[in-house]
Amino acid sequence: MIKVLYFARLRESLGLAGEELDLPPGMTTVAGLMTLLVARGEPWQQEFDGCRPLRAAVNQTLVPNSEPIKDGDEVAFFPPVTGG
């Protein structure tokens, strides 16, 4: 089981701050998790289909979508943030 957290516009769009998910067999990367979320339909598809900028962190470390994930990990998704 992994813990998935949603921040900023994702939290608003999805209506969730986070959830726990069982990893399906063969799902081994952040990209795979995103594909699973897209399959839920709207609004998941709109947020995770790759058209909108999105960052991921595994266990509080920013990672590329190719990053491996495993049971017990925490995966956070959030839009890129700029400051001034």
If you average pLDDT over residues 56-78, what whole number do you get? 97
- In CATH terms, the fold of domain 2-78 is Ubiquitin-like (UB roll) (3.10.20)
pTM attached to this predicted model: 0.92
Residue 43: asked if its preceding bond is cis (omega within 30°), the reply is: yes
Which residues are CB-contacts of 26 (< 8 A; sequence separation ≥ 6)?
32
The tens digit of pLDDT for each residue in 6-51 reads 999 999 999 999 999 999 999 999 999 999 999 999 999 999 998 8
**Domain regions of the chain by residue span:** 2-78
